[in-house]
Amino acid sequence: MTTPLRIALAGLGTVGSGVIRLINENGAMIAQRAGRPIEISAISARDRARDRGMDLSPYKWADDMNDFAADPGVDCVVEMIGGSDGPALDLARNSLKSGKSFVTANKAMIAHHGMELASLAEKQNLALKYEAAVAGGIPVIKGLREGASANRIERVYGILNGTCNYILTTMEKHGSDFDAVLKDAQDLGYAEADPSFDIDGVDAAHKLAILAALSFGKAVDFDGVEIAGIRDIVAADIGQAKALGYRIRLLGMARIDDGKLFQRVNPYLVPESHPLAHIDGSTNAVVAEGNFSGRLMFQGAGAGDGPTASAIVADLIDIARGDSGTVFAMPASKMAASERAESGNRTGKSYIRFIVADKPGVLAEITAAMRDAEVSIESLIQTEKTNEGSVLISMVTHQSLERDVIQSLEKLSDSSSLQGAPVVMHLLSDED
Amino acid sequence: MTTPLRIALAGLGTVGSGVIRLINENGAMIAQRAGRPIEISAISARDRARDRGMDLSPYKWADDMNDFAADPGVDCVVEMIGGSDGPALDLARNSLKSGKSFVTANKAMIAHHGMELASLAEKQNLALKYEAAVAGGIPVIKGLREGASANRIERVYGILNGTCNYILTTMEKHGSDFDAVLKDAQDLGYAEADPSFDIDGVDAAHKLAILAALSFGKAVDFDGVEIAGIRDIVAADIGQAKALGYRIRLLGMARIDDGKLFQRVNPYLVPESHPLAHIDGSTNAVVAEGNFSGRLMFQGAGAGDGPTASAIVADLIDIARGDSGTVFAMPASKMAASERAESGNRTGKSYIRFIVADKPGVLAEITAAMRDAEVSIESLIQTEKTNEGSVLISMVTHQSLERDVIQSLEKLSDSSSLQGAPVVMHLLSDED
C-alpha cells in the first residue's frame, strides 16, 4: 500500500503549524512506519495572510474548510480550531457524513458530542480519533482503548490540567500564594489571560469525561462531572498537607460505584508514596487501575504544539496503517448512559480548612457542628494567623460519609465567625 | 464480525493460568471490546496431571503443542513456556509457517530471533505480538510502536527489571547490603533461586534490545548490549549517591550516537528530579524521548501473572480487532543491522568507587592514575571504613570520555592497594 493518506488541516495556530512541521521533518520515517506517506493535501484557517513562519504555498488553500468534505483529494480531515460547538462541530459532522475520517484535538467537542460523532463514524466504518484531546502527547487514549483493553478498569484518574499542576507545584516549591503564581504563569504564557477554564477545572472535566467513557464503556457524560478548581487553595493548605505527608494535586477521578458512574474534578491530598505526588510542573499523568494489570501510569507533556502534533500524527499513522475499530473501547451503540453515583454516598477522609475570625468560641462552634453531623476529627492540624488577622484552621476527618461532611459545613453556613466558604479536599486512598 | 478468535495456549504455569482466568473473568467485556469473543480452543503443557487450581476440562488437550500448527480450529498460538531457543522457537516457527498468528511473552526469544520471526510473520501478513515480553503489563510496545510513532525517538531507557529495582530500593530504604536483601527477596519469591539472569542484567538487556529495535528501526541486536548488573553495589554507594542528590537504578539505555546504535544495561545515578528516581519496588518504567512528544514515561507492574496476562490478552484483542501492520514499528525487511557505538566515545560524569587497603599513599596512587588518564575529579565524596578494616573511596568525575575513565582504572589494575575491582556508574543526564 503506497497510496498516500491525504489529509486536510483545519486551523493553523501553533498546533496546526506543529503538525506541518512534524510531517515535514519526520515524513520519510513516518512513511516507513505507516506503510505509506501522509500527505498534506489542503489547509484552511481564518486568516490566510498571517505569517506562520513557514511556506504554505505547497498546500491547496480552502477559504471555507467545509470544502474539505466534498474534496475527492482528501481522505481525512484534521480539526485544530477548538470550541465544543460551532465551526468545529459542523466540520466534524460534514466530514464524517461525506465519508472522510476525522482527527481532532478538541476535548470540549468530544466531551459534549462524542457519542453523536462516534455513531456517525461507526455507521460508515470511518475512523474518528482524538488522542490529542486528552493529556497532549501522552498516548493515553490508545493506552486505555488498546493497551489496557483486557482489563475491567477499577478507577481512572490523574493530573489532567498542566496549568493547575504548574500553579500548585510552584506554590509548593516557593510557598507562594495562588494569585501571585497565577500572575507569573500568565506573564510566562503558561496560563491564559482568562484562566477560568483551566483553574476552575472545566478543562480537566472534559478530559475526565472522555477517559471515563473509554474506561467503563458508558456514554460520555460531561454534565455528570462534579467540578471544583484550585482558586481557593492557599499556601498554608499546601504546607499543612505536606506536614501530613501529602501533596495537593487537582485530580480528575472516575470510577464505578455500585454500578453507577462517579466522576469528579477536585483538589486531592495525594500521599507522597503515590506516583502522582511526584508529577511536577505542567506535566500530565493518567493512572488506570485494571483488575489484571494493576496500576498503570502514563506521564508526559499535557500541552504544547510539539506534543499535541505528536498525538495527532500518531492518530494519522494509525489510520494510514488501516486501524479500524471503534471510536471508544467498544461500539458507541452499546455504550448506554449511566446513572450517576452521588458523591455524598462516598466514604473517605477529608481535609477541611476554615478561615475564621480570631475570637473565642470559634473552634467550639466548628467542632460542635461536626459532632452534630457525626463527622469525627482525626487531627486538627494547625491553626495559623493570616496576614489579615484572621485565623486559619485545618483538620482531617476520620473516614466519613461525604454527605455528613457537607452537612457539617451547612450547619456552619450562617455562622458569623467564618470568613469565606470552607475548602474541602479529599485524601486520595487506594479505596477512593 | 462475531466469529470467535480461537486461541491455543502453550504453557500453563502461572502466566498461562492467568490468561485462562482473565478470559473467564473478563470474557464478556472483551468480546464487546474486540468485536468478537476470544475462545480458548486448545491447551498444552508439559505435565497434564499437575493441579493448576482450575477446571481445564473445557479445553482440548494437546500432548504435543506443535499439533496447534496443524489444527484448523486454532487461529492464534500463545506461547508461555520461555527459553530463547528449543521448544518455544520451534513452536513459533511452526505456528507462523502454518499460517497462525503468534503471541508470546518470551523476551529472550524475541531478543535473539525477533528478526527471523518478524520476517516470517510479515511475509504471510500474520500478527506476531510480544507486549508481555517487555515490562509486563505496561503497554510499552504499543506505546512505542503506535503511540509515539510520529516521533524520531532520541533515547529510550528505563527500569526494565523488577527484581533489581526491588533490591536497590530496599537497600536504599533500609541501608542494608546487597546479599542480605537478595536473600530476603529469594525467601519472599521476588528473586529466583538462581538470580543471575536478573541481577547480572541479562533480562533487562533482552528487553532493551527489543525496545531499541522498535524505537530506532534497526535490527534487534542483543549481542550489542553492554551489560553490567548490580552485584557489586554496596549500601555505601547508595548513601553516597543520595548525598549527591541521586538514586541508584539499574537502567537499560539505548540511543543513536552519530548514526550508530548504543545499548547499555548498567547501574546509573539518577537525579532525584528525574521521574525514574521515584520508581520504587518491583515497578518497571520506560521513558521514551521523542523529537516532538518530549519525554513520555510509562510505568506499572513489570511482572506477575495478572499483568503479564493483561498484556497477552491485549495483544489478542488487537488481533481480534484486525490490527495488522508490522511486527516492529516498520517492516522487518527494512530494519538493517546497525553499527555499534563504542561507549568509550561517550562523554559524561561517572561515579567511581574503590575499596582499598587502609594505608598511606593509596589516595595519591588513585588520583595520580586519574590525572595520567586525563580524568579530572569533580568531588571526592567520602572515604569510609568498611567492617573489614578497608576503606571505601568514592568520587564523581567531571565530564570525561568514558574511554579515559576505563584507562585510569586499567592503570590501577595491578595495584596491590585495591581490594576488588572498582565500581563505575554513570550519572544520568539529559545529554546522556
User: How much is the average pLDDT of B374-381?
Assistant: 90
pLDDT digits (tens, 9 = 90+) for B23-42: 999 999 999 999 999 999 99
Query: For the domain B140-301, what is the CATH superfamily, name and number?
Result: Dihydrodipicolinate Reductase; domain 2 (3.30.360.10)
- To the nearest whole Å, the CA of A27 is away from the closest chain B CA by 9
pLDDT of B432 above 80:
no
Of B137, B294, B318, the CB nearest to A301: B294
Q: Which of B21, B131, B141, B149 has the highest number of chain A CBs within 10 A, making it the mutation to test binding with A? A: B149
Per-residue pLDDT, A158: 98
pLDDT of A80 above 70:
yes
Q: Which of B284, B322, B176, B294 is nearest to B237 (CA)?
A: B176
For residue A353, the one-letter residue type is: R
By the 8 A CB rule, do B107 and B198 touch? Answer: no
User: How much is the average pLDDT of B218-247?
Assistant: 95
pLDDT of A24 above 60:
yes
By the 8 A CB rule, do A205 and A251 touch? Answer: no
Per-residue pLDDT, A410: 94
pLDDT of B1 above 60:
no
By the 8 A CB rule, do B251 and B284 touch? Answer: no
pLDDT digits (tens, 9 = 90+) for B177-204: 999 999 999 998 888 889 999 999 999 9
Is the Cβ pair B18, A307 closer than 8 Å? no
Lookup: cell for A115 = 457519542
- To the nearest whole Å, the CA of A350 is away from the closest chain B CA by 26
Residue A392 DSSP SS3: strand
User: How much is the average pLDDT of A77-92?
Assistant: 97
Question: What phi and psi, each to the nearest 5 degrees, are found at residue A368?
Answer: -65, -40
Going by pLDDT thresholds of 50, 70 and 90, the confidence category of residue A382 is low
CA–CA gap between residue B72 and residue B258 (Å, rounded): 49
pLDDT of B382 above 80:
no
How many residues in total does chain A contain? Answer: 432
Is the Cβ pair B217, A29 closer than 8 Å? yes
pLDDT digits (tens, 9 = 90+) for B142-156: 999 999 999 999 999
CA–CA gap between residue A33 and residue A321 (Å, rounded): 8
By the 8 A CB rule, do A387 and A408 touch? Answer: no
Is the Cβ pair A324, B329 closer than 8 Å? no
The residue in chain B having the minimum alpha-carbon distance to the alpha carbon of residue A137 is B293
- To the nearest whole Å, the CA of A254 is away from the closest chain B CA by 19
Lookup: cell for A247 = 501533596
By the 8 A CB rule, do B17 and B84 touch? Answer: no
Neighbours of B100 (CB within 10 A): 24
Candidate from A86-95, A140-149, B138-147, B382-391 with smallest mean pLDDT: B382-391
Candidate list B142, B207, B218, B349, residue with the active-site label: B207
Domain ranges of chain A: 5-137+308-332, 140-301, 343-427
Is the Cβ pair A300, B297 closer than 8 Å? yes
Fold topology of B5-136+308-330: Rossmann fold (3.40.50)
Query: For the domain B344-427, what is the CATH superfamily, name and number?
Result: ACT domain (3.30.70.260)
For residue A284, the one-letter residue type is: N
pLDDT of B412 above 60:
yes
The residue in chain A having the minimum alpha-carbon distance to the alpha carbon of residue B18 is A292
Per-residue pLDDT, B150: 98
Distance, CA of B13 to chain centre = 21
Per-residue pLDDT, A323: 82
pLDDT of A383 above 80:
no
Going by pLDDT thresholds of 50, 70 and 90, the confidence category of residue B370 is very high
H or E stretch at B313: helix B305-321
User: How much is the average pLDDT of B259-268?
Assistant: 97
Candidate list A100, A129, A142, A207, residue with the active-site label: A207
Candidate from A61-65, A291-295, B132-136, B377-381 with smallest mean pLDDT: B377-381
Lookup: cell for A415 = 455562622
pLDDT digits (tens, 9 = 90+) for A308-339: 999 999 999 999 999 867 999 999 999 999 99
User: How much is the average pLDDT of B290-314?
Assistant: 97
Per-residue pLDDT, A432: 67
State the Cα torsion A408-A410-A416-A419 to the nearest 10°: 90
By the 8 A CB rule, do A278 and B275 touch? Answer: yes
Q: Are strands A226-227 and A260-271 parallel, antiparallel or unpaired?
A: parallel
Lookup: cell for B86 = 528449543
CA–CA gap between residue B146 and residue B141 (Å, rounded): 8
By the 8 A CB rule, do A325 and A135 touch? Answer: no
pLDDT of B91 above 90:
yes
pLDDT digits (tens, 9 = 90+) for A348-374: 999 999 999 888 889 999 999 999 999
Q: Of the CATH numbers 3.40.50.150, 3.40.640.10, 3.40.50.9100, 3.30.70.260, which one belongs to the domain with range A343-427? A: 3.30.70.260
H or E stretch at A166: helix A162-174
pLDDT of B220 above 80:
yes
Active site residue A107: no
H or E stretch at A211: helix A202-216
CA–CA gap between residue A313 and residue A302 (Å, rounded): 16
Fold topology of A5-137+308-332: Rossmann fold (3.40.50)
pLDDT digits (tens, 9 = 90+) for A189-232: 888 889 999 999 999 999 999 999 999 999 999 999 999 999 99
- The size of the A-B interface in CB pairs under 8 A is 202
Question: What phi and psi, each to the nearest 5 degrees, are found at residue A395?
Answer: -150, 160
Per-residue pLDDT, A371: 95
Separate counts of helices (H) and strands (E) for chain B:
13, 18
- To the nearest whole Å, the CA of B172 is away from the closest chain A CA by 15
Lookup: cell for A263 = 466522576
Using the 8-state DSSP alphabet, how is residue A145 labeled?
Answer: I
Q: Which of B216, B272, B293, B305 has the highest number of chain A CBs within 10 A, making it the mutation to test binding with A? A: B293
Q: What contacts B127, CB < 8 A, 6 or more positions away?
A: B76, B101, B102, B103, B121, B315, B318, B319, B323, B324
Mean pLDDT across chain A, nearest whole number? 95
